[in-house]
Amino acid sequence: MLSANIQAAHSTRAYHDYLTRSWGHLLPRGKQRTLDELGELLRGYDIVGLQESDPGSLRSGFRNQTRDLAERAHFPYWSHQPNRRVAGIAGSANGLLARQAPRQVLDYPLPGRIAGRGVMLVEFGEGEAAWTLAVTHLSLGVASRRMQLDFLGELLSGPKRLVLMGDFNCAADAPELAGLYRRTALSPPPAALATFPSWNPKRSLDHVLTAGFVVEDYRAVPAAGSDHLAVAMSLRPV
């Protein structure tokens, strides 16, 4: 399983790239090569949750990057949740790639001071084998994150076998996550992985929280040119 903020397939390898390569956020140039590299990475996983996947705008050449990655990595099932569009120039979505057919996929907008965040809720399996996956990308601001995590706490309070993955924009032990852990069966990850910036990781922003699973081989891996490292792991039921 893998969780990856792919930065819309834009390549950033140093802080100065945010300024000198800012044009790359708005144009499709170079993104197909990055998607090829990501496709090679994703082939080794059974389930992938994506953040900042462009659903089809100028910067992606009007192509859905989640679908493109599903085709490149040979995933039979994919879905996406567009959350933000900027005048047809750019867009952002949560995405799912799966080798197992989901039983149900639900989309929820997240509260916040600025609209444009969401969570994708995916249900797999039946009966005792059933489990739930949630893919999200939380806000930069603490106040908005707290509202979003309170919402997730209510939404995810039922499932006992559960995975919540994504870019949290905060550490897994940040104060605003206390309510989520209290309301759900979720536990913090087994390690605080430094995932940002990818070229010199110092901050732990990307996490996979679980309930009802044993987490094995929890590690950070490069996600092509993204400014975030991806989080990879193996899971087995308790």
> pLDDT by residue (tens digit) across 183-226?
999 999 999 999 999 999 999 999 999 999 999 999 999 999 89
Residue 52's H or E segment, with its range, is strand 47-53
Q: What is the mean pLDDT of residues 28-41?
A: 87
Contact 136, 208 (CB under 8 A): no
pLDDT recorded at residue 10? 86
pLDDT recorded at residue 13? 61
3-state secondary structure (DSSP) of residue 105: strand
Give per-residue burial for 95-123: e unless 16+ CB within 10 Å, then b.
bbbbeeebeebeebebebeeeebbbbbbe
Q: 56 falls in which pLDDT band (50, 70, 90)?
A: confident
Give per-residue burial for 30-65: e unless 16+ CB within 10 Å, then b.
ebeebbebbbebbeebebbbbbbbbbbbbbbeebbb
Q: 17 falls in which pLDDT band (50, 70, 90)?
A: low
